[in-house]
Structures are given as C-alpha cells and as structure tokens.
C-alpha cells in the first residue's frame, strides 16, 4: 500500500496554507488557460456550495501577488516567466462578509468597508504592499472619505493601477450571497440587488485599469440582474473545457487520492476497487456540461478522513430552505427527475422569483446535467446517491415533522425488509402514509404529473413517489421503474441480502383484495422478478378514499423458476 504522506486539506480555502504539507489536486492548468489563452479577460463561474470556488480564487491571489514558490511542481510553473503572469495589484472581495440582516443602509456601509479594507492603512495612507509582494517598495495613496461603495471600488481600482503602473485583477467570491440571503424577503432583496448592480457596474466602467476579472457564486439567478450593466462577462459554467475546474474527477480520485482510498479500504475491510465503485455511486456524478462527472470535494475529503459513508455535503447546507420549498410547492422527490431541458435553460435558467422547481434545484446544485436526447438538450437528475437519499429523507422528515421520529421509523422499516416480514413492512408503509398531511391529498387531486412520456394522476403518483422516498431515505437500495423484457416494475428494494419486487395499484374499480392480487399477478406475468434470486413479490392496493393501503398480497419466488 502506498504510504499517505500529505494530510487532507479539510476546510482549507487558502492556497498559501497548502504548501507541501497538505494534499492539492492541481487545477492550475485551467487558470493558465483563462489568463493567457483567450481574447477576453472577464470570467464568470457558478458552482454549488463547498465545491472549491474560494480555493480557486485564493490560487489566483497567490499567482497575481507573485508568490511563485507556491507553484513549484504544478502545471502552471513552466509558464510563470511569461509577462501575462506577472505580479499585479489584486482586489479580492468576499461578498459573504456583507451585512444583510440590518437593512439596506447597513448593507451599503458594510459593502463600503469591505471594499476599502482590500488595501492596508499605514501611517495615514493606503498601501499596496501586500498586493505586489515582489515590489521593492510599497505604493501608497489616499482614498477619498465618505464615498458610496461603488465610488470606493472605482477609486481603489484606478489608484492601484496608476500608482503601481500595472492593471488590476479583480476577484469576487460569492457574488450572489447578499441577494440569496434575502430570497424570503423580496422587497429587501430587490434593494440589495439594486445596490449590487450599481457596485458591479464599476467593473465595466473601469475596464482600462483592469487586466483580469473572475466572478464566482452558487447560482445564476442573479447574474443577469446584478450584472445587467456588465455584459462583457464570459460564462464558463457549462463549458466542457472547464467542467472539472472545481471538484475531483474519478481519475483524480483514483490517482492523486489513491493512497487515501487504499487506507480507507483497508480500514473498512474492502478491496480498493470495490470501495472506488461504491464511492462513485455515492459521491460522484455532479456534471456541469452533461458529460464530465466530478465528486464534490467536501464530501469525498470528509469520507477519506472519517472512513465512513455519510451525507456530508447535503447536511452542511441550509436544508431548512429546501425543506420549506418542498412543502410550499407540494413536491415529491421523483417529480422533477428526468426532465429534458434545452442548453439555453442550462446557461440562463432565469430569476429566482419565477424559477420552476427544476430550475430552483438545478441552481442550488441538487440536480445535475446528463446527456440529452439531442445535441441541444440536457436531462436533469440527481448527481448521486448522497443527494438523492438526502432529499428523500428530507421529504419523510417533512411529513413526520421530527427528525428523531423519522430515524426511528427508518430503523423499523429496515428491520422489516431485512427479516422478510411482509406484514411488518406493510405496517410501516401504512404508518408513514398516515403522516401525509390532508391538504397534500386535497391538492394532489387537482394535479397530474408527466412522467416517462405518460401522464398519470397525481394521487397515484403521490403514493408511489412518497413510498419510494421512504425507502430511499432509509438508506435502502431501491430501483424505480426498472425495465425488464416485458415491462417495468414500480420498484425493487434490496436490503440485507433480501430483494422485494413491489407493484402499487390504485383502487378505482373493484375491491381492494382483487386489486392487490392483480398487482401480484402483474409482477408474475411480466416477470419483473426475473433478474433476481429468491425475491419476495409484493402487490399493494391503495384505497384512495381511505388514503391508505387497502389490501396486499405477497409471494416468495423460487430461484429463477419463471
């Protein structure tokens, strides 16, 4: 086994802190291309939270401030003697530090303070010393007091450039956070957006003093709003060339992180190849061009540290906002999977005020791009099991109303599945269905859902999707709408070595028992259980009038006896 010699960079967002001691997956080739190989100089990138955007900007800060020794052995090192990589003044603004919870006046004041603090106050003058570390002496200047945030930025850019003799690099981190902080308070959000629009417009107006601009954030919701006056930004968010500028590819995981994977595999008593396959299913799959897939670095690094599977990325965010959104929109986890979108939608999904659920979850990073049916389209889906399972668990917690209770229900569900106890399993299903609020059923009757090219009534979809979420949220391996040679089953649940092939039917005509037996017969006749050894076949009749399971029928299928 290869010996792990570098520590994992858990939570490290400053490039200078990595050095030789911490692991670094080299992304500097992308930086070199952005700076040197294109005719434009103003770039925009959106990526979900905890995807390494801040580290990327920190790498640019180190490069532009002349810290050449930090790039020894990296892809960009051989190009550092080119004039275009010379040191220059750098203004880096992290908009997450702007104050948004005390009104618009306080926001503007904090934005002004944040901007002016990019230079150092020394002896009554602002100093450029930390931006041009290679300079033999500091460049000093004064900033006019009591200016608006936009004017502070404009004056800072101009004076840094004219006093140093070099054009300025401007890096903006979390450009959208001040606005997204206020999405539940639209009036205040609009005031902040107007302030940001005036502030960011300085970047275009100061073009003659700027050599490079890079703006990053979570969403594109506000890009067109706050940058409407700055139409020279080149968006690389869905460009294939930069699909893995943030995050780890599977090749990087198995190569650069290989020793850590081997160490984790040994700790878990698994073969390295088996662990890699499981990691791929659980954490891989974020895609920003529909083809290249990457791991979220936050999840994979924490897994390699703790050496256990957990939903690290999902639980690190604002799940309450997502939870409330699902409640407000009466959504199921399955409802917006497999949605075909055009490339125009992927690049410009619109504003948050009018966003569809698909757009909302895509912007937040919970849905990812997959290849479409044509060159001009994509398919939206969950990136991996971590996100899919977490969203399902969140739905269950919504219905139950308590995370502790939900966890206890999951334990009983897994016990029933693992023991092969159909009666106990139906009991858990029945208890869960009883938790669905009455108003959900009422609204469901007014709605239909398009799924796999067919439209079904939402009440039938609601039962199917919520039971599916119940199983997935419990950590059960579930295959929904799995195709066989004769059709597709509703769901196949696999847990603790047992396989359950399940078919649901709504009772619309006939009695509950006949419908349950009909569901079981369909499993047999269509040979849904064909691919599995010794599965349990379960037909379920849903009585819509009573909003519960009316009847069920179970049968154990002998090993490949069909």
What is the band of 121 on the pLDDT scale with cuts at 50, 70, 90? very low
Q: What is the pTM (predicted TM-score) of this model?
A: 0.87
Cα–Cα nearest to 8, from 232, 312, 236, 281:
312
Distance CA 35, CA 385 (A): 36
CA distance 190 to 195: 9
Residue linked to tokens 């994977």: 261
Average pLDDT, stretch 197-219? 92
Render 32-97 in DSSP notation, one character per residue. HHHHHSSS--EEEEE--TTSSHHHHHHHHHHHHTT-GGGGTTSTTGGGTTSGGG----EEEEEGGG
Instruction: Output phi, psi for 66, to 5 deg.
Output: 80, 20
pLDDT band at 359 (very low <50, low <70, confident <90, very high): confident
Evaluate if residue 89 carries a pLDDT over 90.
no
Nearest to 539 by CA among 429, 409, 414, 462: 429
Look at residue 14 in the predicted model and tell me its pLDDT: 94
Measure the CA–CA gap between 513 and 29, rounded to whole angstroms: 65
| Predicted confidence (pLDDT) at residue 87 exceeds the cutoff of 80 | yes
The larger pLDDT score, comparing residue 332 to residue 527, is at 527
* Mean pLDDT value of segment 399-426: 91
Judge whether residue 9 has pLDDT over 80: yes
Check pLDDT > 80 for residue 558.
no
Q: Domain 26-242, what fold? A: Rossmann fold (3.40.50)
Average pLDDT over residues 365-382: 92
Q: How confident is the model at residue 123 (pLDDT cuts 50, 70, 90)?
A: very low
Percent of the chain with pLDDT over 90: 53
Query: What single DSSP character describes residue 208?
Result: G
Q: What angle in degrees, to the nearest 10, is found between the helix axes of 458-473 and 385-400?
A: 110
Yes or no: say if 380 and 238 are a contact pair by the CB < 8 Å rule: no
Using alpha carbons, list the distances in angstroms from residue 141 to 67, 123, 150.
24, 11, 18
pLDDT band at 304 (very low <50, low <70, confident <90, very high): very high
Query: Region 52-71: what's the mean pLDDT?
Result: 93
Q: What is the mean pLDDT of residues 365-375?
A: 91
> Which has more confidence, 4 or 160?
160
Q: Rounded to an integer, what distance in angstroms lies between the CA atom of residue 167 and that of residue 212?
A: 8
| pLDDT confidence of residue 457 | 57
Domain assignments of the chain as residue spans, ordered by start: 26-242, 387-556
Nearest to 536 by CA among 522, 520, 549: 520
Residue 136: predicted pLDDT = 39
Spatial CB neighbours of 9, under 8 Å, sequence gap ≥ 6: 17, 18, 22, 23, 24, 301
Best mean pLDDT range from 169-178, 242-251, 478-487: 242-251
Q: Tell me how far apart the alpha carbons of residues 376 and 378 are, in angstroms, rounded to a whole number.
A: 7
Q: Quick one: pLDDT at residue 134?
A: 41
Task: Name which of 384-388, 405-409, 433-437 the model is least confident about.
Answer: 433-437
Whether residue 94 contacts residue 160, with contact meaning beta carbons closer than 8 Å, is answered with no
Please provide the average confidence, as pLDDT, over all residues in the chain. Answer: 85
In the predicted model, is pLDDT for residue 291 greater than 80? yes
Q: How far apart are CA 261 and CA 253, in angstroms?
A: 8
- Residue-level pLDDT at 324: 74
pLDDT at site 442: 61
> Would you say residue 413 has pLDDT above 90?
yes
> Residue 466: is it exposed, middle or buried by C-beta count within 10 angstroms (0-12/13-18/19+)?
buried
Residue 451 has pLDDT above 50, yes or no: no
**pLDDT for residue 338 is more than 70:** yes
Instruction: Tell me which of 26-30, 350-354, 408-412, 480-484 is least confident.
Output: 480-484
**pLDDT score of 144:** 83
The yes-or-no verdict on residue 483 having pLDDT over 90 is no
Lowest-confidence segment of 228-242, 299-313, 374-388, 516-530 by average pLDDT: 228-242
pLDDT tens digit sequence for 233-267: 899 999 999 999 999 999 999 999 999 999 999 99
The confidence score (pLDDT) of residue 250 equals: 96
């Amino acid at each position: 086994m290869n010996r792990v010699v570098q520590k994992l960079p858990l939570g490290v967002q400053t490039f200078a802190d990595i050095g030789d001691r911490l692991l670094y997956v080299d992304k500097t080739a992308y930086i070199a291309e952005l700076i040197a190989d294109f005719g434009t100089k103003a770039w925009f990138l959106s990526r979900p939270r905890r995807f390494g955007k801040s580290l990327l900007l920190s790498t640019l800060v180190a490069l532009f401030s002349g810290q050449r020794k930090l790039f020894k052995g990296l892809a960009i090192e051989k190009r550092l003697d080119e004039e275009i990589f010379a040191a220059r003044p750098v203004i880096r603004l992290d908009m997450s530090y702007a104050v948004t919870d005390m009104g618009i006046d306080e926001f503007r004041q904090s934005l002004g303070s944040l901007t002016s603090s990019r230079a150092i106050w020394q002896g009554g003058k602002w100093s450029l010393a930390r931006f041009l570390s290679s300079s033999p002496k500091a460049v000093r200047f004064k900033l006019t007091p009591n200016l608006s945030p936009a004017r502070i930025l404009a004056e800072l850019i101009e004076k840094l450039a004219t006093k140093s003799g070099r054009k300025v690099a401007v890096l903006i981190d979390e450009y959208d956070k001040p606005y997204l902080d206020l999405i539940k308070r639209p009036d205040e959000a609009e005031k902040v957006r107007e302030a940001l629009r005036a502030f960011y417009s300085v970047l275009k107006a100061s073009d003659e003093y700027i050599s490079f601009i890079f703006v990053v954030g979570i969403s594109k919701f506000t890009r067109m709003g706050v940058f409407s006056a700055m139409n020279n930004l080149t968006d690389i968010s869905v460009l294939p060339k930069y699909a893995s500028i943030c995050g780890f590819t599977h090749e990087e995981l198995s190569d650069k992180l290989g020793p850590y994977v081997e160490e984790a595999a040994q700790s878990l008593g698994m073969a390295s190849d088996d662990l890699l396959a499981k990691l791929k299913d659980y954490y891989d799959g974020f895609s920003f061009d529909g083809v290249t897939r990457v791991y979220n670095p936050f999840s994979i690094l924490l897994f390699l540290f703790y050496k256990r599977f957990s939903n690290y990325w999902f639980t690190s965010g604002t799940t309450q906002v997502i939870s409330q959104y699902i409640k407000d929109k009466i959504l199921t986890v399955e409802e917006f999977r497999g949605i075909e979108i055009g490339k125009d939608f992927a690049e410009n999904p619109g504003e948050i005020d009018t966003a569809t659920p698909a757009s909302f979850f895509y912007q937040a990073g919970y849905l990812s791009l997959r290849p479409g049916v044509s060159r001009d389209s994509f398919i939206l889906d969950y990136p991996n099991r971590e996100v899919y399972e977490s969203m399902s668990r969140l739905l269950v917690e919504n219905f139950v109303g308590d995370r502790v209770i939900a966890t206890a229900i999951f334990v009983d569900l897994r016990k029933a599945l693992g023991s092969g106890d159909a009666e106990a399993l139906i009991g858990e299903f029945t208890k869960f269905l009883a938790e669905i609020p009455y108003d959900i059923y009422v609204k469901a009757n007014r709605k239909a859902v398009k799924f796999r090219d067919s439209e079904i009534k939402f009440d039938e979809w609601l039962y199917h999707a919520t039971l599916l979420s119940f199983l997935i949220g419990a950590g059960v391996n579930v295959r929904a709408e799995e195709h066989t040679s004769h059709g597709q089953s509703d769901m196949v649940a696999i847990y603790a070595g047992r396989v359950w092939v399940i078919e649901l039917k709504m009772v619309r005509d006939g009695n509950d028992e006949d419908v349950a037996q009909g569901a079981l017969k369909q499993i047999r006749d269509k040979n849904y259980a064909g691919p599995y050894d010794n599965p349990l076949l379960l037909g379920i009749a849903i009585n819509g009038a009573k909003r519960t399971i009316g009847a069920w029928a179970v049968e154990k299928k002998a090993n490949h006896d069909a």
